[in-house]
Amino acid sequence: MSIKNDLFLRALKGETVERPPVWMMRQAGRYLPEFMEIREKYDFFTRCRTPELASEITVQPIRRYGMDAAILFSDILVIPQAMNIEVQMKPNFGPFLPNPVRTQADVDRVIVPDVSVELDYVYEAIKATKELLNNEIPLIGFAGSPWTILCYCVQGQGSKTFDKAKAFCFTNPVAAHEMLQKITDTTIEYLKQKIEAGVDAVQVFDSWGGMLSPTDYQEFSWQYINQIIEALKDYAPVIAFGKGCWFALEDMAKSNAAALGIDWTCAPNVARQLTGGNITLQGNFDPVRLLSQPSDIKKMVHQMINEFGKDKYIVNLGHGILPNIPVENAKAFIDAVKEYKA
């Protein structure tokens, strides 16, 4: 069965389109009243592990706004959970890992799991979501980059600097690279099976790549993301998104990624220049800008599309949508793209 609205997949292939496709990072989330209703009844990982809940949450924003792609409701930290690392999601705090990885012995205890067993609930959620979507639009699967996962595993929680994670890499590089490789191997298998279960594209989120210097980024992040791209490129399009990683865009553009995510700190013309103008780009509206007046949002979105160009472009935010965004402002963002005329 072919997908009725394949605008997103066509943009990933670099085809000429009548308008660019649009979706929003974290679109299945806390800014939606219908999401909050489910959140009050079930804790975070229950939502991730229950296919009916994950699929329902995935399609909520689609019903409301009609984006051109859905992204599976899940979390990047299901990977360390499967690798024998305890992860808790604390209300009003975020992720908490009570036994962080700090030594070679800790790394030795980390397993490369059988993802088909440990993460079976994700594949079931994909199948349930595909049924609900009924071939209307594509479904995106995702994973965190190995570096971003390592950041949480070593730091033990969110951080503004991830100083402990960086210190671990710089003082114990052998253990760090072993850990990064274990995460990479797990992620490749995980995403491969997501594609087998039915996702149409995958995105790798390098949320904390911008914490590293350009040299350290190559060593501790990009080479592992590139392994993932190489392993998956023949199965589905891969989008690589490095937040704060504009300095690596030139190298990233030489990879087999289908598209690169851009955050709001990099101007569209600069992003095009750094990437050579041949690869599809995705982004890069500042999520906080969604607090502007809906009429202003529409103007800014049209300007952003004009600056990126309508082809080889996917409209998105420069990071995830925030919980305090009014639903009508999110609607203005999506509608602006649908109303766009070149």
Q: How many CA atoms lie within 13 A of 11 on its CB side?
A: 31
Relative to beta strand 94-96, strand 88-90 is: antiparallel
Residue 163, annotated as binding a ligand: no
Q: What is the spatial distance between Cα 282 and Cα 261, in angstroms, rounded to a whole number?
A: 5
2, part of any domain:
no
Q: What is the spatial distance between Cα 240 and Cα 225, in angstroms, rounded to a whole number?
A: 8
Whether 217 is a known active-site residue: answer no
Q: What is the spatial distance between Cα 298 and Cα 303, in angstroms, rounded to a whole number?
A: 9
Whether 26 is a known active-site residue: answer yes
Residue 263, annotated as binding a ligand: no
317, part of any domain:
yes
Relative to beta strand 259-261, strand 238-242 is: parallel
Specify the pLDDT at position 211: 98
Per annotation, catalytic residue among 10, 42, 64, 75:
75
Specify the pLDDT at position 147: 98
Burial of residue 55, with CB atoms counted within 10 A of its CB: 0-12 exposed, 13-18 middle, 19 or more buried: buried
Q: What is the spatial distance between Cα 135 and Cα 157, in angstroms, rounded to a whole number?
A: 38
Q: What is the DSSP string of 180-206?
A: HHHHHHHHHHHHHHHHHHT-SEEEEEE
Residue 205, annotated as binding a ligand: no
Task: Kindly report the CATH number assigned to the domain that includes residue 255.
Answer: 3.20.20.210
CA distances 309 to 25, 47, 297, 314, 324, Å, are 20, 38, 18, 10, 30
Residue 29, annotated as binding a ligand: yes
Domain that holds residue 14: 7-338
Per annotation, catalytic residue among 10, 30, 42, 216:
30
On whether the CB atoms of residues 288 and 31 are closer than 8 A, the answer is no
Per annotation, catalytic residue among 26, 64, 286, 311:
26
Per annotation, catalytic residue among 65, 123, 152, 340:
152
1, part of any domain:
no
On whether the CB atoms of residues 289 and 318 are closer than 8 A, the answer is no
Residue 319, annotated as binding a ligand: yes
Specify the pLDDT at position 61: 98
On whether the CB atoms of residues 204 and 183 are closer than 8 A, the answer is no
163, part of any domain:
yes
Using DSSP's 3-state secondary structure scheme, residue 95 falls into: strand
On whether the CB atoms of residues 268 and 304 are closer than 8 A, the answer is yes
**pLDDT tens-place values along the chain, 342 residues long:** 799 999 999 999 999 999 999 999 999 999 999 999 999 999 999 999 999 999 999 999 999 999 999 999 999 999 999 999 999 999 989 999 999 999 999 999 999 999 999 999 999 999 999 999 999 999 999 999 999 999 999 999 999 999 999 999 999 999 999 999 999 999 999 999 999 999 999 999 999 999 999 999 999 999 999 999 999 999 999 999 999 999 999 999 999 999 999 999 999 999 999 999 999 999 999 999 999 999 999 999 999 999 999 999 999 999 999 999 999 999 999 999 999 998
How many domains would you assign to the chain? 1
Q: What is the spatial distance between Cα 30 and Cα 84, in angstroms, rounded to a whole number?
A: 28
132, part of any domain:
yes
Q: What is the DSSP string of 207-245?
A: TTGGGS-HHHHIIIIIHHHHHHHHHHTTTS-EEEEETT-
Using DSSP's 3-state secondary structure scheme, residue 249 falls into: helix
114, part of any domain:
yes
Q: What is the spatial distance between Cα 165 and Cα 257, in angstroms, rounded to a whole number?
A: 26
Whole-model pTM?
0.98
Residue 47, annotated as binding a ligand: no
Specify the pLDDT at position 342: 81
303, part of any domain:
yes
Tell me the residue ranges of DSSP E strands in the chain.
70-71, 88-90, 94-96, 139-144, 201-206, 238-242, 259-261, 280-285, 313-317
Whether 63 is a known active-site residue: answer no
